[in-house]
A and B are shown apart, each in its own frame.
Chain A
Amino acid sequence: MVAQQIINAVSLGGVYALLALGLAIVFSIVGLINFAHGELMTLSGYALLASLVLGLPFPVAVLVAVTCGALAAVAMERIAFRPMRGASVTSLLLTSFAVSSLLKVVFQNGISARPQAVAMPGWMTGAFSFGDFTIGVGPSISIVVSALALIALEVFLRRSVTGTAMRAAAEDFDVVRLMGIPASRIIATAFLLSGLLAGLAAMLWVAQRASVDPLMGFTPVLKAFIAAVVGGLGSLPGAVAGGFLLGIIEVLLQATLPATIAPYRDAIVLSGVIAVLLLRPQGLIPAVRVQRS
């Protein structure tokens, strides 16, 4: 029972971490909180549904869905955010709200406002048993996928030139451009990575629920936003730490709170967030950023 709860906590935390990381990567480079991040997740969910309906094998369908998330993020930057480059933070924020609302309406009117069932393979809902322990296959896969994604991203950011340039751009974008590295390449890569992470998170989210609906991305991305703020907005290690922390606390409260207090779970979590921000306004692991007039 305890083992199962720990697995659930880490698994939920992993999903939050992937989403928070996607938000943080884009924020660290362009200073934009992308509120349409949740719609990238929803779009990947629908892409998975469509691929399965078309009869693609499950692994191929997942690949298609994650790719769709990544490409949609790049397209979003190209169409909505690039024309706004250099605009104020408020304008960027409003743009992302507009994109988010637009996509939600497209999903509602173009597909359906009601949840659509996604036929996940039967083995995903199975469980391993070790003696007394029973551990769900779904959450275990979720943990493995999150861990691999985090490691791959870390290697990319440390080893590749583009990754190094992205870390540098988070500190001082102008100087990266002075090195001859094109701004549009860095920004496009940031969105591509955030879309990939949203796509992966969508797969893990859908695997737990076996359905997609137009508002699917809202709650997890709201949580991821909170995680990113608690971790230190724009800080990538902070986003991961915040994501896991939030996931673990949620599951812990879910498992331990008496039934009469359980409805206040989110209120308790958010009070905790306020407390963290009062004590550490820059977040748990603050971002390194050059302040410039």
Chain B
Amino acid sequence: MLSVEALKIRYGEVEAVRRVDLTVDSGEIIALVGANGAGKSSTLGAVAGLVPAASGKVIFDGADITGLTPEAIARKGVALVPEGRRIFASLTVADNLRLGGAVHQPAAEARLREEEMLELFPILRRYHRVKGGNLSGGEQQMLAIARALMGKPRMVLLDEPSLGLAPQLIDTVFDLIAELRRKGLTILLVEQNVALALEIADRAVVLANGEVVLSGTAKELASSDLVRQAYLGA
């Protein structure tokens, strides 16, 4: 469904991503793991169109989407839930959701979709008229995911969904991710918590210094010496 080929990303003189190749098949959860600064978020940013690729290609559904604007990529059915959630703090939960589904469907359908989201995230129904900035971190993460789902994407890019959340909430968020996959969504997950990511993913790609150092099924990686020593602390 998605393939990233020989992606390179530069910020001025700094090469944030030297070479990343990865593929995500329909209905899979792929985890992109690695240390801080390994190039995970930059890779997601390039897929979503927020970060320009210096070279390489991003192919979605057989079409080259490299260099398209973020809005064009979003309309093709790729939704990014950005790191740090970045919900609109001064807008109500309702308005955050409304914007998420504004351009992807007629207004009547968007209302039905919002109803589905409120079923999936009851907490958002309770705080429907509350400003996004007044929600807790976990609630904001739910809102950020629901907002991305409003546009009925076929693929979701999740950037560090566990960041800054209490352990209990992390479990809730990851249960939700598993639930979304059961519903047929394809997910590319960036996560610093490697153990957690490998638990939920089908396959995983390990990045270090902007390059893929290891990839394989989640099971293989969980038992590989490199991953165990470097990321799982075993």
- Which residues on A are within 8 Å of B, measured CB to CB? 161, 164-165, 167-168, 171-172, 174-183, 288, 290
Contact = CB atoms under 8 A, between A and B. Distances in A.
A145 B91 CA distance: 28
18 contacts: A165-B102, A167-B90, A167-B91, A167-B95, A171-B89, A171-B90, A175-B82, A175-B88, A177-B49, A177-B69, A177-B71, A178-B79, A179-B99, A179-B147, A180-B74, A180-B104, A181-B103, A290-B89
B151 interface: yes
B75 interface: yes
Nearest to A172: B86
B70 interface: yes
A181 B102 contact: yes
Contact of B74 (A161, A164, A172, A177): A177
B100 interface: yes
A165 B103 CA distance: 11
Interface string B101-117: 01110000000000000
Given A165-B102, A178-B71, A288-B89, 5 more contacts: A167-B95, A168-B88, A171-B91, A179-B102, A180-B104
B48 A178 contact: yes
B80 interface: yes
Contact of B98 (A164, A176, A178): A164
A199 to B, nearest CB: 28
A177 to B, nearest CB: 4
Interface in B58-108: 69-71, 74-75, 79-80, 82, 86, 88-91, 95-96, 98-100, 102-104
Contacts of B90: 167, 171, 288
B99 A174 contact: no
Contact of A168 (B74, B91, B104): B91
A174 B75 contact: no
Contact of B71 (A164, A168, A172, A182): A182
Contacts of B99: 161, 164-165, 168, 176, 179, 181
Nearest to B133: A288
B220 to A, nearest CB: 33
Contact of A290 (B86, B96, B103): B86
A161 B79 contact: no
Contacts of B69: 177, 182-183
Contact of B82 (A168, A171, A178): A178
B50 interface: yes
A171 B103 CA distance: 19
Given A177-B70, A178-B48, A164 B103 contact: no
B88 A181 contact: no
Nearest to A288: B90
Contacts of A167: 88, 90-91, 95
B89 A181 contact: no
Nearest to B70: A177
A217 B173 CA distance: 55
B83 to A, nearest CB: 11
B88 A171 contact: yes
A165 B95 CA distance: 9
Contacts of B133: 288
Contact of B103 (A172, A180, A288): A180
B95 A178 contact: no
Contacts of B82: 174-175, 178
A38 B212 CA distance: 55
A181 B86 CA distance: 16
A12 B86 CA distance: 39
Contacts of B96: 168
B71 A181 contact: yes
A182 B72 CA distance: 8
A161 B96 CA distance: 11
A178 B104 contact: no
A16 to B, nearest CB: 24
Given A168-B88, A174-B50, A179 B95 contact: no
B180 to A, nearest CB: 18
Contacts of A161: 98-99, 102
A171 B88 CA distance: 7
A172 B88 contact: yes
Nearest to A165: B99
A243 B80 CA distance: 40
A178 B147 CA distance: 10
Contacts of A183: 69, 71
Interface in B111-155: 133, 147-148, 151
Contacts of B151: 179-180
Nearest to A174: B50
